[in-house]
Structure 1
């Protein structure tokens, strides 16, 4: 059975995978240093903000 290839869907999936790869570089996220869910979510949000700021800083 031949699978269909959707270029746009593949690009979006690739972006998500690369984002998760970048977020794993943060120790608190990669090792799940905080065992409480709310603290872990806060660490993910902080790492995401840092990644977003670094990306947008290089664009200007």
Structure 2
């Protein structure tokens, strides 16, 4: 049986990737250079994080 803490973290990570895939440019990888793709992932992650911080009291 999986410990509840581990399952909670796994669920959190899966939800993050689901949110990340909502960014079309990050999901389809239009950029050919790895550094450009990584920059898009960083921007999308930052936007997700800012939404989370903004919504928490």
TM-score normalised by structure 1 residue count: 0.88
Residue 26 of structure 1 corresponds to: 23
Deviations 1:5-57 (A, max 9, x none): 21100000100000000000001101111121100000000000000111111
Residue 11 of structure 2 corresponds to: 14
| Higher relative contact order (CA closer than 8 Å, sequence separation 6+) | 2
Matching of residue 47 in structure 1 with residue 20 in structure 2: no
TM-score normalised by structure 2 residue count: 0.92
The question of whether the paired residues in 2 share the 8 Å contact of 1:32 and 1:40 is answered with yes
Query: Cα RMSD (Å) of the superposition?
Result: 0.9
Question: Which structure 1 residue ranges, 5 or more long, are not aligned?
Answer: none
List 4+ stretches of structure 1 deviating above 4 A: none
